[in-house]
A and B are shown apart, each in its own frame.
Chain A
Amino acid sequence: MTISKEQAESALQDLEHIAHRSATLYKYAKMSPHLILWGCVWMAAYGLSDALPSEAGLIWLIADSVGAALSIYMARVYGRAICKEHRRIGAVILTVLAFTMATFAILPPHSGKQMSAFVPLVIATTYVLLGIWHGRRLVILGVLIGALTLLGFFLLHSHFNLWMATVGGGALILTGAWLRRV
């Protein structure tokens, strides 16, 4: 069979488009349960922090530990073929954690509200940066979380944690569900 240059070019363009779509959707499907999990963690931890503000530090320590343990478990169960990718994501999380702690050391927050807002802003930035490489749905999630955080921070005088529990956690859960869709 003889193929013209135009046919070959068109076939290669199709291949590139399909391969990119397939790889992106695969990553979305792998990320989806983690986003839903962390949405639940945010809902619980921010919600409890609103009810018991003096215990917020302990609440977040427990919530983050449980969330991280479940995330690692899920990655092992569902992601047998992407160990390298998991290591990269783990490295990104550790970098973000180190950056947050270093920032708090240099610029200590004056209130719990500042602390509650800064962390999701860093996470929102991380989603945007990851999304630039891995797919626009993550960029949308990052922008959404960042905007909701700033909206709550500047407009709400009380119950900011409750706002973050509802809209921040909700945004993560809904985006997780969205990533499952083709």
Chain B
Amino acid sequence: MAQFDDIIHQPVRLKIMAALKALPRGEQLEFVRLRAIVEATEGNLGAHIGTLEKAGYIVVEKDFIGKKPRTRVAISASGKTAFDQHVAYLHGILSIAG
């Protein structure tokens, strides 16, 4: 079902969701790689990740590799559904307008 999602539609969050959705099921993306893919600053990306996590669209895992902190992010099942619905909504606009 096509449905507009205000949380996902914000440009950086849309990119985050697209980057995570492109991964095979269950795979995570490291924060640094995600930052390079969506081309956002560290603070900006962190804030948007927080919003998506709060909405239950992504799962954030933090751990340490030796003494170095590592943050990994994955799309959740509800995030995948919401993203698919939002993309269907965008396609719907094109088909109505076209």
Binding site for B on A (CB under 8 A): 1, 3-5, 8-9, 11-12, 14-15, 18-23, 25-26, 29, 80-82, 85, 182
Contacts and interface: CB of A to CB of B under 8 A. Distances in A.
Interface in B74-90: 87, 90
A22 B18 contact: yes
Given A14-B14, A80-B26, A182-B36, A19 B94 contact: no
A5 B14 CA distance: 17
B18 A18 contact: yes
Given A14-B14, A14-B15, A8 B93 contact: yes
Given A14-B11, A15-B87, A18-B22, 14 more contacts: A1-B6, A3-B4, A5-B97, A8-B91, A8-B93, A15-B15, A18-B19, A19-B18, A19-B22, A22-B20, A22-B22, A26-B23, A80-B26, A182-B36
A21 B29 CA distance: 13
A15 B14 contact: yes
13 contacts: A1-B4, A8-B93, A9-B94, A14-B11, A14-B18, A19-B21, A23-B22, A25-B33, A25-B37, A26-B22, A29-B33, A81-B27, A82-B24
Contacts of A182: 32-33, 36-37
Where chain B touches its partner, the secondary structure class is helix
B25 interface: yes
Given A19-B19, A23-B22, A182-B33, A3 B90 contact: yes
Contacts of A14: 11, 14-15, 18
B98 interface: yes
Contacts of B38: 18
Contacts of A20: 22
Contacts of A5: 93-94, 97-98
Contacts of A25: 33, 37
B28 to A, nearest CB: 10
Contacts of B9: 1, 3, 11
A29 B30 CA distance: 11
